[in-house]
Amino acid sequence: MTGELRGVDGVLPAALAAAQAGRRLIVPLANGAEAAIAGHVEAFTARTLLEVCAALNG
């Protein structure tokens, strides 16, 4: 267990929903470009769970 995040399917619909709801989104690095397609959403990318924790804490 390395804490590494893997790319997933379905990031674009999630990013569109986050944009519509005015929410932020954290996605695996491999899905960053897909999340960016949604536009008008603050999407952070992370390689590991540790990076997710860092983004959530500040």
pLDDT at 36 (0 to 100): 94
Q: Return d(Cα 35, Cα 57) in angstroms, integer.
A: 21
* Residue entry with tokens 């990013």: 15
pLDDT by residue for the chain (58 residues), tens only, comes to 899 999 999 999 999 999 999 999 999 999 999 999 998 999 999 999 999 999 999 8
pLDDT at 19 (0 to 100): 95
Distances in Å between the alpha carbon of 16 and those of 2, 35, 57? 30, 8, 24
pLDDT at 1 (0 to 100): 82
The reported pTM is: 0.84
Is 54 in a helix, a strand, or coil? helix
pLDDT at 45 (0 to 100): 97
Q: For the chain, which residues make up each domain, given as ranges?
A: 11-56
